[in-house]
Amino acid sequence: GKSFKSNKKFIFIPWNKDQWKLGFDNFVSRGPSNMRFISTRGKIKSASLTEAILHGLASDGGLFVPEFWPSLTIEKDWHQLSFSELAYRTLIPFFQNDPLGLALEEICNEAFNFPVVLKYLPNNTAVLELFHGPTCAFKDFGARFLALCLKSVLNPLSRQPMVLVATSGDTGGAVASAFSECTDIPVTILYPKGMISGRQEIQLTSWGQQVHAFAVRGSFDHCQKIVKEAFASEWWQKNFQLISANSINIGRLFPQMAYYAYASLQFQHRHKKTPGFIIPSGNLGNSVAALWARKMGFPIKKIIFAHNMNKSVPNYFSSGSWTPLPTVSTLANAMDVGNPSNIERVNHLFPDLTELKKFASAQSVSDDEIQECIRHGKKTWGQIWCPHTATAVFLREQMLQNIPWIIVATAHPAKFETIVEPLIGEKIPLPKSLERILHLPCSSTEIKPTLGDLTADLTKRVKAI
Ligand SMILES: *Cc1c(COP(=O)(O)O)cnc(C)c1O
């Protein structure tokens, strides 16, 4: 295949061709006391960080987790660090002795080039706004960090790399934006035609040549099935070095730990109290990141997982037994997950649910409650909430005020203007990043929901380039 060259912004690439020729294991196993990563299902040998990030999913079907929890000394002055600097110090114990460790500082600087905002509200409450990145949702943190990690470790001698991702809305936009801004790696996105919001569609289809968006005549499940088939297909594996950028990749979780570290230290310094977090949750990636940050010793008192009417996690907390449920559609569509894959990471860290319940709980919030919360958001908090964030706000309003709470705001309300604007009776000012892309030319290719159709179209394109 073609060899892969990157001419976008320079980032330190720790591996040269000689090291690749020597072989991955030769190079990686040289360091002492490597941090290794194991599968939640425990049926494979441990992997290095680079391997875990390149593979995405462990080969036994489990998710990668750290083999042990490194000790971290949180210094008194860490609340003064910039977000990138704190992210570097929080994550380096997991990256040490991996080739990626050499690039980590630069990756943090380049990935987090937008503000992380902690806003203090009345009643012992704050909101952590994670939507100031290029696609206005927290997924920008994970997608940008992962893109830069992959750029650092991709084998320049190998087949043409290709990111392949199915999306129900937010993930695809963040991945497209991250890979096209930070790397030269081509991205192929599959989304269900006619089933995502207009602004979400623009965020998938306006990136030019590097990002091919396919509008699949089918559902999200069809899109996901095609992606799985491609990963299992000999033709695809022969022609491409396929990369999975979905949310179970540990490279997307790590940077999310950093904002819990940041917000908890800021809050504690200012109020001299340890806050709890209320997290709008779907696939539980964000929630696992919070559990990991707490495990590393950051000052986090309690954690509440706010779910919509997809109740498998709240049911688990109340009944003690895990039963995945069919997905139901709600106003908070990025949280519409009936069988969250990250439950495996939760259970791996807390095999005994009673230990988790000592500081964490899970609650379900209905569409009516989401709407009510958005409607009175201005009056109660002086804020406009997106439907996802509203689930967390609703639970905050139910709570006593004896513990200070940080509400995690996962997306900007302007992304969901068709839901929010009628409820608040006014236009939502557009954030700059959305305004910029609304007028860009969009292009996507409509295909039938089969891998054959995708392959046929892509073969044409690759030849044409
Ligand atoms: C993806 C997403 C969520 C759910 O996050 P998980 O990590 O899957 O639990 C919540 N809100 C928004 C806006 C999202 O895009």
Model confidence pLDDT, tens digit, residues 43-82? 999 999 999 999 888 989 899 999 999 989 999 999 999 9
Ligand 1 neighbours by CB, cut-off 6 Å = 137, 139, 170, 247, 280-287, 334-335, 388, 410-411
Distance 441 CA to ligand 1 centre (A): 27
- Nearest ligand 1 atom to alpha carbon 284: 9
Is the pLDDT at 200 greater than 70? The verdict is yes
**Average pLDDT value for the chain:** 90
- Residue pLDDT, tens place only, 427-444: 999 999 899 888 889 999
pLDDT at res. 11: 40
How far, in Å, are 61, 208, 456, 465 from residue 176 at the CA level? 26, 10, 22, 19
Nearest Cα to Cα of residue 38 among 1, 63, 2:
63
For tokens 């979905």, what's the residue?
246
Unique residue bearing structure tokens 């036994």: 60
Give the mean model confidence (pLDDT) for residues 115-140. Answer: 96
DSSP letters, 278-340, are EEE-SSSHHHHHHHHHHHTT-----EEEEE-S--HHHHHHHHSS---------SSGGG--SS-
| Structure tokens belonging to residue 457 | 């179209």
- Cβ atoms of 258 and 89 closer than 8 Å: no
If you measure from the C-alpha of residue 408 to the centroid of ligand 1, how many angstroms do you get, rounded to a whole number? 10
Helices (H) and strands (E) in the chain, counts: 21, 13
Query: What pTM was estimated for this model as a whole?
Result: 0.91
Determine the pLDDT at residue 356.
98
**SS3 at position 242:** strand
Closest CA to 149 of 189, 194, 101: 101
Q: Which atom of ligand 1 is nearest to the CA of 411?
A: 13
**Which tens digits make up the pLDDT trace of 331-354?**
999 999 999 999 999 999 999 999
pLDDT of 6 above 60: no
